Structures are given as C-alpha cells and as structure tokens.
Amino acid sequence: MPELFSADWMNELKDQWNNEPEVSAKLADIAFSSIITCGFKDEDKPRGVFVVEKGICTSAGSYNGEKPDWDMRADRKDWMKWVDKGLGFTGMGLAYTTGKLKFKTGDYGAMIKNPKMAGPFVKSFGLMQKIKTQ
C-alpha cells in the first residue's frame, strides 16, 4: 500500500485518471494541460507531481522542482479523509472556504466557475478513493 503522494501513489492516480473518461476525456475536450502538485500545508515543497497534457496524465511521481500551474495543499488528516470518503462539490467548496484546502498556485475561483474544468476536477478527487493509501 503506497504512502500518500509517493511516486507509487501518484502513478496509481495517473492510471485512475487516464482510465476515467469523465476526467481525462472531458479535459482533453478543452485541451487542458498543467503541472499539478500536491502536498501538506506545513511543508515548503509539494510531495507529488502530476503532469497533464491535453487531458491525459503523461507523467507522475515525486516532486522534483517542477514549476506547478496548480499546487494544492492540506493537512495530512484532511487528505486522508478525502482519500477515504471522497470530496464532492459542496465538500470542496467548504474545504476551500474554511482553509482546509489551499491553492498555493492556481486560481480556484476561476476553475470552479468553469463547468468544463470544475466537474473533472471534483471527479479527480473521487479517483483518490480507489487507491489503497497509508
């Protein structure tokens, strides 16, 4: 069972992402390309990186200095809760407004107002539930 945001965990997320048309195909439709990083609020650097090119995750692994377009941070306990129970639109809005989910890079407000991005983004959190995580 991989550790949250380890290279193995990020690669399992990559496989889930690419196999979920409600995420990868929907983002391919809008030619979404970004470098996405994830980590913990109390750390300077993110832990994992996820590279998306035209909706498809082309690489994933441990963070190695890449410049993120999106850098999401939360406390470990909150990440683990979302990995276990998921996070829908309402939960994501609450997590963001209460400061549990922080975006060090990226415009959450603009993204959530764009249905072509918001739907796949929220669904991507559901993919985390499919990964056995320690």
42-54: per-residue pLDDT in tens?
999 999 999 999 9
Residue type, 69: D
pLDDT computed for residue 112 by the predictor? 87
Long-range pairs of 113-118 with CB within 8 A, sequence gap ≥ 24: 116/26, 116/29, 116/30, 117/27, 117/30, 117/32, 118/89
**What is the distance between the alpha carbons of residues 27 and 127, in angstroms, rounded to a whole number?**
15
Q: Where are the domains of the chain?
A: 7-130
pLDDT at 23 over 90: yes
Per-residue pLDDT tens digits for 53-81? 999 999 999 999 999 999 999 999 999 99
pLDDT computed for residue 4 by the predictor? 97
Strands (E), the chain: 34-40, 48-53, 56-62, 70-74, 102-105
**What is the distance between the alpha carbons of residues 42 and 21, in angstroms, rounded to a whole number?**
34
* CATH number at 7-130: 3.30.1050.10
Whether residue 79 contacts residue 39, with contact meaning beta carbons closer than 8 Å, is answered with no
Per-residue pLDDT tens digits for 74-119? 999 999 999 999 888 899 999 999 999 999 999 998 888 898 999 9
- The CA R_g of the chain, rounded to the nearest whole Å, is 13
pLDDT computed for residue 71 by the predictor? 98
pLDDT at 134 over 90: no
